[in-house]
Amino acid sequence: MHSEINQMSIKFQSRSNNEAFARQAVAAFAAQLDPTIEEINDIKTAVSEAVTNCIVHAYRDTLGYITVAAKLYDDGEIQIVVRDKGCGIADIQKARQPMFTTGDAGRSGMGFTIMESFMDRLRVRSREGVGTQVTMTKRIAARLGQK
């Protein structure tokens, strides 16, 4: 059983320029686990995709709030939760399929696929009209000389 060693939470408006803020904030927090550059980039990419989904799909043509929380564990694991109170996802299984999008033609429909490929675990919970919560977990490899 692993123990939580630190946690953080930020809340911001669903403006596109806040995606970079969320990505950098989580990366800075995750740095406490001494990740490699590749591991940090994986985390930043997954957070970017999750936050962008909230901005583009959850709130579509309106502003709302996005909450990003993260927890660090003593076994090197980071858990990141990205939550919105937007429109929700009607069919999560369909939404998780590559190339599916509810956005415009400029959207790739690869958000969940990208999150899954860069993180160890991905869980999506959603209710229409209530919002969506994406929980992502990644274990940071211990370096030589560390416990």
Question: Which sequence positions are flagged as catalytic?
Answer: 49, 53, 107
* Cα(110)–Cα(100) distance, integer angstroms: 7
Structure tokens at 137: 């977990």
Handedness of CA 87, 128, 69, 80 (dihedral sign): negative
What phi and psi values does residue 26 have, to the nearest 5 degrees?
-70, -40
